[in-house]
Chains A and B, each alone.
Chain A
Amino acid sequence: MNDDGTLLRLDGIQKWFGDNHVLRGIDLSIVPKEVVVIIGPSGSGKSTLLRTINLLEEPTEGKVFFNGVELTDIRTNLNEARTHMGMVFQQFNLFPHLTAIGNITLALIKVLGLSKEEAMERGREQLGHVGLAEREDSYPSQLSGGQQQRVAIARALAMRPTMMLFDEVTSALDPELVNEVLQVMKNLASEGMTMAVVTHEMGFAREVGTRLLFMDDGVVVEEGKPTEVFAAPKHERTQAFLSQVL
C-alpha cells in the first residue's frame, strides 16, 4: 500500500501518441478492495489509461505509485512490479503454442521460480476456480472464446496479484459467452480483489462496481457511485453517452 492508504495512485498522467493527446491529465486513486469501472466512448483513452497502470504504455508525463513503489521511477524493477498486477485483455492473448495449464505455469516457473510440481498444482487450482478443471491440456484453439478468456483470467490470478486490470474483456465474445466471464469477475470482486475494469457492460458496472469513472477525450468527466451516476448523470456528455448505451 502507498503512504496515503491507496493501493494505486496516478498523478497527472499525460500521454501523447505522436501529436495525438490521448490522456490529458488524469489523477486517480484506488484503495484496496475497490472495483473501479471505467466507461466512455471509444477513443476516449480508457484502455490507454488502464495500460499506463502497469506501464505497458509509459505515460509521457505524470507518476504512477503502486503498493508503495513509484513505477514511473526508472530504477523500479517493472517486471517484479507487474507480477503483483494481473491483466486480462480484450483479445485474450493466450499463448497459442502452450496448453491451458502451460499458459498459466509459464510465468509461475520462469518468473516466480516455482518448481514444476508447485506450478502445476497452483495452475490446476486456478483452472478449477474459473470452472475449467477438465480442460488443462487443451490448446487455446480448442477452446471457445469464453473459455479462453477464463484461462486468461486464471493465468493472471495464478500469480496471486494484489490488483487486477480488465481491458474490455467481454467485447470480443459471442453474446452467449459473455456471462460466464462476467460471473468469474463477479466472484473475484466478492472475494475482495481490487479491480480496475474498462467495460461496455453497463449491467456489470452497476452491479459490481464500487466506483464509476466516465472518460471522454482523455479526461475523467464524471465519477461517483455507479447507481447514482446511472440514475442521475450530472455532466451533459455523460448524459449523452448513457442515453446511447442504456
Chain B
Amino acid sequence: MGATTATALAPPDRGWRYHLRHQTPWSRTVLAAGILVNLFFFIGTIAVLSSYGWSRVCPEGATRIECAPSDPLAAGLKSAALGTVATIALIASIVVMVVGFASLRRMPTRSAKEAVITGAAIASQSIFLPALLLWFRGTDVDRFARNFLNLSIIGRKAGVAWDSVTSSVGSILALALIWAAVVGALVGAYAWWRKTGIRPVVIGAIGGLAGGTLWGLLDLSNVPSFIKGAQNTLILSAAGAALGFGLGLVLALFTMSSRRVVRAPARIYINFFRGTPLIWQLSFAGIGLVPALRLNLSMYAIAILVLGLNLAAYSAEVYRAGIQSLERGQIEAARSVGLTYFQSMRFVVVPQAIRRVIPPLLNEFVILIKDTSLVSILGLTVAQKELLGISRDIYSSSFDATAWLGAALGYLIITIPMIRVVTIVERKLRSGLTSVIG
C-alpha cells in the first residue's frame, strides 16, 4: 500500500465489489430498507389495482354515469387495501429516511456512507407518491377516472387496421424494398466516399427495410388514430427541419457579413420570425395570405413551409453563435494561405462549427416537434392531422379527456429518444478527441 515506484501502476479497483466489501451490517440494512419500501409501494399498488381490474367493456348506449370503462380502476383507487398500502409505505419511508440520515456520521467507510445516503434518498422519494395518492383518494375519484382514465380509448384509437394488412402485404413489401434500396444506396455512397467497407451499407439497408415496413403499416392505420397523428407529427417536423436547418445556415452567413446591406435583410427576417408568435405566422399564412393571393398550396404544405421558415430564424442564431465561438485565428490562417472567404467558411469554419451546434440544433428540433401541434389552427383534413389535432377530434366526438393523455404519450415516445440523443451527442462532443476527429 502506497509504495513509491517509478513504474506506472494500474488504478486501484473501485468497482461495486470493492464497495460491497466495505459495508457495515447497518449500512446494508438501510440500503435494503430503502429499496424494499419502494418496491412495496409500487408492487403493492399495481397488485391492488390489478385485482380490481384496469378497464371494462360497457354495453352499447350506456351513459358514462351508468357504466364507465374506468369503473374498476376507480374502485381500485378508492379501495381500503390501496389506502393501507400507501399509509404503510408513507410511514416506512419516513422512518428509513430519518434513521438513515441520522446515522450518516457514524459510518466508518466512504462505501458504507454512500450506501446509507442511497438508501435514505430512495426512501425519501417514496414519500411523495404515497402522499399524493392518499390526497387523491380524498377527491372525486369517480369523476376524474370517468374523464381521464379511460385507458381503453388509447388502445382502441392507437390504431393500425390489422384486418387490411393481409390484403396489402404486396404494397407494404414494395415500400419496404424501396426504402431499403434508397437508404442502402445513400449509406453506400457515403461508405464509398469514406472507404468504410460494406458493413454500414448492410445495416443501412436493414434499417431501411424496417422503416419501410413500419411506414407501410402506418399507411393502413385507421383515421383518426394516434399512430396516424404521430406519423403526421414526424412528417411535419422532419420536413420543417430540413427546410429550416438549411435556410438557417444561409441566413447565419448573411448576418455575419461585413456589409450592412447584406446583414440588414437577414436580421429583419430573423427578428420578424423570432418576434411574432408561431401561431400568428401559421394563421396569417394559411388563413390570410395564401387564400388572398390564390396560391395553389395545400394547408399541409403551408404548415411545413411556415414551420421551416420559423425554425430557420432560430437555427440561424444557433449557427451564428457556433461560428462566432471559433477563434478568429482560424479564419485568419485560412485566408493567409490564399483560401477565399467562402472556401474558408466551407472547409475550415463550418466543419468545426457544425460539431458545436449539433446539440443546440437538436434542441431546436425537439421544440419544433412540439410546435407542430400549433398547425391544428389551419384546419387540416383528418388524414393530415397531427397528434394534438387527433386527440382533439377524439375528445370532441367522445367527450373523453383520456384522448389528451394519448397525445401526451405520443409526444413523449417521439421526444424522449430525441432528448436522449441530445444528451449522448453532448457527452461525446465534450470529451476532447471526439470533438476533433471524425
Contact = CB atoms under 8 A, between A and B. Distances in A.
Contacts of B332: 56, 89, 93
B339 A107 contact: yes
A97 B436 contact: yes
A91 B335 CA distance: 15
A96 B436 contact: yes
Given A93-B329, A106-B347, A56 B335 contact: yes
Contacts of A152: 333
Interface in B300-352: 327, 329-330, 332-340, 343, 347-348, 351-352
A15 interface: no
A127 to B, nearest CB: 16
B336 A56 contact: yes
B316 to A, nearest CB: 22
A79 interface: yes
B297 interface: no
Contact of A93 (B327, B347, B352, B438): B327
Contact of B432 (A56, A97, A111, A141): A141
Nearest to B330: A93
Given A141-B432, A141-B436, A110 B339 contact: yes
A96 B352 contact: yes
Given A89-B329, A106-B347, A110-B347, A155 B337 contact: yes
Interface residues of A, number: 29
A95 B338 contact: no
Contact of B343 (A94, A97, A110, A140): A110
Interface in B399-438: 432-433, 436-438
A89 B336 CA distance: 10
Contacts of B432: 141
A107 B343 CA distance: 10
* Majority DSSP secondary structure for residues of B touching A: helix
A139 B330 contact: no
B329 A107 contact: no
A83 interface: yes
A147 B432 CA distance: 18
Contact of B337 (A82, A96, A97, A140): A82
A156 interface: yes
Contacts, number: 72
B437 A139 contact: yes
Contacts of B437: 139
Interface in A109-164: 110-112, 139-142, 152, 155-156, 159
A95 B437 CA distance: 11
Contacts of B433: 139, 141-142
Contact of A79 (B339, B355, B438): B339
Interface string B39-55: 00000000000000000
A97 B352 contact: yes
A166 to B, nearest CB: 12
A82 B343 CA distance: 14
A112 B352 CA distance: 23
A137 B309 CA distance: 42
A139 B143 CA distance: 65
Given A93-B327, A93-B330, A110-B347, A140 B338 contact: no
A85 B335 CA distance: 11
Given A91-B327, A139-B433, 16 more contacts: A82-B338, A83-B337, A87-B336, A93-B327, A93-B329, A94-B333, A95-B330, A106-B347, A106-B348, A107-B339, A110-B343, A111-B343, A139-B437, A140-B436, A141-B433, A141-B436
25 contacts: A56-B332, A79-B340, A80-B338, A82-B336, A82-B337, A82-B338, A83-B337, A83-B338, A86-B337, A87-B333, A89-B329, A91-B329, A93-B329, A93-B330, A93-B332, A93-B333, A95-B330, A97-B352, A107-B338, A107-B339, A139-B433, A141-B432, A142-B433, A155-B337, A156-B337
